[in-house]
Amino acid sequence: MGALPVIAAVGALTLATPVVAVPLRSDADAAAPAVLDVPGMDAQSVDRFLELYEKIKDPANGYFSDHDPPVPYHSVETLIVEAPDYGHVTTSEAFSYWVWLEAQYGRVTGEWDRFNEAWASMEKHIIPEANEQPGNSGYNPNDPATYAPEHDTPQEYPAQLDFDVPVGQDPIADELSGTYGNDDIYGMHWLLDVDNRYGYGNCGDGTSSPAYINTFQRGPEESTWETVPHPSCDTFAHGGPNGYIDLFVGDQQYARQWRYTNAPDADARAVQAAYWALTWATAQGNQGQISDTVAKAAKMGDYLRYSMYDKYFKRVGNCVGPDTCPGGTGKNSAHYLMSWYYAWGGGADGGWAWRIGSSPSHFGYQNPMAAWALSSVDQLKPRSPSAAGDWDTSLDRQLEFYRWLQSAEGGIAGGATNSWNGRYDQPPTGHSTFYGLYYDWQPVYHDPPSNRWFGMQTWSMQRMAELYYATSNADAGALLDKWVDWAMANTTVDPAAGTWQVPAELGWSGQPDTWDPANPGGNAGLHVEVTSRNQDLGVTAALARTLMYYAAESGDTDAQQMAGDLLEAMWANQDDLGISVEEQRADYSRFGDEVYVPQGWTGTMPNGDQIENGATFTSLRSWYADDPDYPQVEAYVNGEGPAPTFRYHRFWAQADIAMAMADFGLLFD
């Protein structure tokens, strides 16, 4: 049985360490934590960090489930649709922000139990245990997966497996097995149904939670609104006669199977958080308290190298034609970038297994800070013999990637792919390349375009700013000089009024110059335009953190001032649960969107919802009708009311705001 092609959006062992319940603080029964006396500390900003931290951790506020240990929800609110299709699912993104938040808590208080406990929850709930990924011993690194072409629209699926297309060798599987003594993968799956809302449970049991699920499978035009949610372990208990598999992949016969998809930016963020935890704990003399967790972060970074490889381990560079582009040998299938995913799976009976990398890489997923830590910091260097060297190569390649993609104005363009159209097509004549990878202004997904959202800029450049601050890297500084000027020129803030505007959506034109590392071009033909602005809280926090880390290293007082002003403006928008602003969701007209199901294909969701031709986003999620926020959405969809307005409390955004407060309070004397 071949590999199931998997796309993770936005935006997955055996446990040796006992899992301890994470204490969720309640203002009613918890004394205020002691704050360390740090010279030059801005006490007000640190107090604000703790105040928001307490709101996030208060069980009454609904950021966490009641599992033991708890799980962070994507948002407090249940009715929300973006990459996750429901507020009480969660993502590896949320877990990585939780680990980062607890690192900041340790920085401020000197207490590190919560950092360890957040990682323990991640390890228990969203890193598959050995019995949840059986059969990896049957994986053949010389035949890692069977090729299936990606298609442009959901209507062209299922994709037929093609056993005749050459695939390459997996060059790191044996090294990882030898290093860790088993064949399992230590990485997060990207999506969990925290309270089993869909009803799959795990491996068809129908009841257990959190439950591993997936959504995106059918090419770049499959938005969240057009997905068929399905279990990560498909035992054919739900869906059609072959479960859900034959909606996505065409084969002669189908087997019960499990499959997980890793979002590399989340795993890299967890490593980044572990680096800062190590740095701050060491400054306190407390590094011994987190040494085991830091070692696990290094291990995660070892497996994260799968994201550096072409999807089918084909040769990287000028790879055209599925039959003619050869499979890779050694590491010539590595692009050394953080691609959109890696994935792994196998038979439910434990008889076979597969692994894939990913051909497209988005600049927004790169993490040069994590690459530097994994290549240069002894405690975070992975144990596999070639891992630190791979991450050192990746650091250089990532920095070049940003430079190649920086527009004339300063914003960073989308990315590149080793597989044009996801099927190794011939790209247009004259197309720009980066080490033989083809420029793509919207890698991976087109509805909406993946590089339209300004948040990709702030997420990614915040990591660049940390690298600049930690290492004084001149290439990082040069990138930031130009980017910061552009971002600040397109941002306005009135801290006294509690209002601000940051870029929301971007428009792109042209392409970068073909990359020549000896003589980089100026990209005079690559342009970005800010097409709309808003008050997105998480994006604003990430922008502020980018500006402050840049300012702390460069001495740019204007950037420092704007960072502080943005924090002040956000703080003026407090409510009982955290920070919020009104969001009008005109895109919720798509609650009625049709979800493509082939004519004649029929099946059922666990609650009895019919999966059939003509199904819609809502008909596959009929339980949304019981949500207290649904009536305003329904009225809007029916043309009987305005676009609904919400005040959302996304876990990652609240955590980022809190951490921005701590950073500002401790970065500047």
Look at phi and psi of residue 614 and say left if phi exceeds 0, alpha if psi is from -120 to 50, else beta: left
DSSP class of 288: G
Q: Angle, nearest 10°, between helix axes 455-471 and 474-489?
A: 140
Q: Which two tokens stand for residue 476?
A: 């990082």
Measure the CA–CA gap between 246 and 172, rounded to whole angstroms: 30
Cβ pair 215, 229 in contact under 8 A: yes
90, 192 contact by CB (below 8 A): yes
Pairing relationship of beta strands 159-160 and 249-250 according to DSSP bridges: parallel
For residues 24 and 59, is the Cβ–Cβ distance under 8 A? Answer: yes
CA 533, CA 527: separation in Å to the nearest integer? 18
- The residues facing 406 across adjacent strands are 412
Task: For residues 547 and 552, give the distance between their C-alpha atoms in angstroms, rounded to a whole number.
Answer: 9
| Residue 58: C-alpha distances to residues 62, 237, 456, 642 (Å) | 8, 37, 30, 34
Q: Which residues are registered as beta bridge partners of 584?
A: 645
- Give the 3-state secondary structure of residue 661: helix
Question: In degrees, to the nearest 5, what angle opens at C-alpha 553 toward C-alphas 552 and 559?
Answer: 55
Strands annotated E in 418-526: 433-434, 437-440, 492-494, 499-509
Q: Which helix (H) or strand (E) holds 502?
A: strand 499-509
Task: Report how far residue 297's alpha carbon sits from residue 118's, in angstroms, rounded to the nearest whole number.
Answer: 12
Cα(484)–Cα(556) distance, rounded to whole angstroms?
10
Q: Are 20 and 120 within 8 A, CB to CB?
A: yes
User: Are the CB atoms for 361 and 339 separated by under 8 Å?
Assistant: yes
Helices (H), 472-556: 474-489, 537-554
Q: Is the peptide bond before 517 cis (omega within 30 degrees of 0)?
A: no
- Looking at residue 424, the DSSP 8-state letter turns out to be T
Distance CA 322, CA 325 (A): 6
List the beta strands (DSSP E) in 263-317. Answer: none
Residue 147 host element (H or E): none
Q: How far is Cα 591 from Cα 70, in angstroms, rounded to an integer?
A: 30
- Read off the amino acid at residue 207: T
Contact partners, residue 275, CB within 8 Å, separation at least 6: 297, 369, 370, 373, 377, 380
Give me the residue label for tokens 């699926």: 157
- In which element (H, E) is residue 492 found? strand 492-494
As a whole number of Å, the CA-based R_g of the chain is 23
- Output the six-digit token pair for 251: 């084969």
Q: Token pair for residue 565?
A: 């002003």
The amino acid at 156: E
List residues with catalytic annotation.
Answer: 93, 265
